[in-house]
Structure formats: structure tokens, C-alpha cells
Structure 1
């Protein structure tokens, strides 16, 4: 009888701990966009889990302080369950984190446009300053830019997308990150797409400087159109990036018709969030 009571007690404690963990993960976080001077700043209440996943997906924002001056200055993140866990993401400190937080903020279009311009401008300026002292060595992948392989056959062009192209694997299934491993992207944000790609065998690699990181295998870059879509660029053996937008032709230029030496600074249209670089190997990665 005592064993039964003990088992029931253990079961109750397990359910209790699980419930506490669930409450913590599903708690509320307040995100304040520091942009106004006379009016109160815009704030948004967001479930904790996606914020935690976003902040854990990159680390360049850590240790930053809010910018001074007028206009966009960065974000302050308040944990409603732990007052000591207030975090600051300064303007220009981490382009991928900032752009995603911006998409979660309910603000007028002109304010959002101003913030996007300041984020991109600060990032480009930081990269230019670094490049004056740190000259980047050209890195490359093993993939060859051969657009005819993807463009000449109408069936191949139609049924293979940027994810197929980035991994250099033709499946004729319009492959999706994680689908080969029974994962479906629920939220169209960077961490969710990255997780699906990691299930398929891709590996995230950090880019601690403004230089493109050197991969052990082939290199791809994941970018996000917040709430709507994702896109992959791939690095080829010539040291430049190429990509295949959806059912259209593979190409080696960005939206402005420029060759792509770094997708972080390329004209990506609405794909404003740069999530990360990843390594991929056709012999290791499995996609569907």
C-alpha cells in the first residue's frame, strides 16, 4: 500500500513540475521598442518561449547598451516572472534579433521602415569599420554555380526550391526544412526554420566577425521574411553566393542585380531577418 502511495506521490510531483515548467515557458514577456521621445514607447506582450528561442539563436546582442539620440535606439525585454531578467538589445548590435523583434512589434508602417533603415545602416557601418582593419580572406564551398542544372529542365525548376538548391540536392518535392524528419514549421520565424534544417542534418555555424565564416562543408545562409517565408543562399566555389527563389531560375545576383559576396548586406527585398549561416553536405543531409 505504501508503495502505491509513494508511486502516486511521485506521479503527482512529476505532473506538478511539468506544469510549473509549462507555465514558465508560456509566461509573458514585454518587449519595448525604444524609438519615441515625447510619446511612450510601443510595447508588445509576447509568449516567452519564442523570445527565448530567438535570443538563444544568436549572441552578438549580449552585453549591449541602448543607443543614445533620437529615433530607433534598440529594444528592452522585460520578463514578467523575473524582474532581474531584463535584457537589452541595442540598435545595430544584432541585425537578425532586431529585425525579428521589430516584426513582433505593433507599430505604424513608417516607424517600422525607419527602424529597418537604422538597423541595416548601423550594421553596414559596423562591418565597413571592421573591414578597414580586418581584411577578410575569401572562403568558398565545393558547389559549382551551374544554373543550367536547375533552369534548363522545366520540371526540375518548378519542383525544387531554395532549400533544394542550397543543399545541392534535387528531390523534385519542393523540399521543406524538417519534413524528412516529420517536422512541420508552425511559426515562420528564424529559430523554427533553423530547427527544421538542423533536424535534416545542417549545422549552424557562428560568424563572430564581419567576415563570411569558413565552413567544414558547404555554406548556406538562412534569411526570413517574418511571418511569411524563408530563403536560403549558398556559397559556391567561386567565393560568391547564389540562390534559387522558389520555382524561378537559379541566379547569382540579388534584388538590385548585384553579385552576392555576403548575403547579410545583399538586397533581399522583404527577407529582412538574417538568421544564421549553416553547414551542409549532400552526403550527410537528408531532405524531402
Structure 2
């Protein structure tokens, strides 16, 4: 099993619960996408109140997923001012809420953790989620995972193997391709509107009117990359040209441009 401990109390024992096999798989994929989220067990991760999570892989079953990913058997994730782990931390907090922990006031306990996460996100505004490379797509184009992750997974930098959909992680999936409905769905998942020139803008959203949506993600060198559905991730448009400006690139039938967004600690499902 994969056990999780919410490191938050001082006098009382911390809340503990176990992840389902599906939850363990989702967490492993999140961590593999960005191993910097993990910290040694003895790392300093805050003071009184929320200090992140301690993850322990024990025995077999769900723990096999964790171990096969080459992850440590006992490790710390999250904590105060750890923006790179916000998405995974919020995911774990959600699994705690569904575990029906024996707490006098779980809402108050979870609220303290969420408040610290919100402060961390505000503290880290401007960090962005740029791709580190516009040529290395092995993580996304692995045949075992490529068909099960789409443009939304790629834009979010989260390989969930669930063909993620806007709004589903927040409990209300998108229902329409109009500006208001689709933008509301991505906003529920943690994206916020941005503009070219903002330090944190890193994703743009386009639409095939009445038919489909698509997202691009900005690479560190200024090239935009994307993953068309189950197809391979790439750095070129429909004309085979490197994408330096998604607004003017060849997007085929995706003619409507719905703007730029930034994400820190977004969650997709």
C-alpha cells in the first residue's frame, strides 16, 4: 500500500490514510513529471501548521506502482513555499477528504493546509510552467502513455493517462465550446487569464468552433509546443513550421483564439 501522512499537528498524531491503486498511480505519474516535488524525509518544510505530506510505500499492491516508477519508499512532498508541488499537494488533500478521516473538524484542518497552499501560489506568481525543452518529448511520446494523454495533459504538464478534460478534476467537466463555458472549466482547474509579456503566461487555448478545443504550452526558448490528442507531442504547426506565435501559426480548423493563461498548482483529471 501507499500510505500518506498529512504533516500538520504538533501535539496530536498526524492524520494518516492509504491511497487506492488508482490514486497511487496518479500520484506516481505526477511526481515522475517533476521529481523536484520530492524532498528528503528530514527536510524543513514549515513551522506550526501545515508542513506537507509524508508518503510511505509498504508491502505490495498499490506500492508496486510507486516502486516501479523508481520512487523512494519514504519521502516528503509539499510544504510551505513549495510551488512546484502545489498540484500534487492539492491532489493528496482531495484524497484525504474522500478518506473520511476521524477528525473532530476535518474542514478546519484541511482549510489550514489549503490556506498555506494558496499563500504559496500567491508567493510564487510569475514562476510559470514553461517546458524545459522544445525538442525532447520522450516522456510524452512513450508508446505506453502517448495514446492516453492529450493536449490538456501536456499543457498542464501532468501525465494522468486519463485523456484529461477541463473542469473534471474540479468536479464539473466542460459542457460547451463557447468562451464562457470552456474558460470557466479551465479556471476551475486552476488556470488564470494572462497576457503576452506576463512573466507567468505559459499556455494558450484555441477552439475549432462548435467542435473541439486545443492547448499549446510555451517552451523555455520561446517556442510553443503541443500534443494533438493521442498523437505525438511536437514543436511545429500544421505547416510543419516551428511555432513562435500561436496566434499566427497554422492551426488548421482551430480558428478561434481564446487567449493566454498561466497555471501554478493546476489539477487535471
TM-score by length of 2: 0.50
* Greater RCO (CA < 8 Å, at least 6 residues apart): 2
Normalised by the length of structure 1, the TM-score is: 0.47
Structure number with bigger Rg: 1
User: Per residue, is there more helix in 1 or in 2?
Assistant: 1
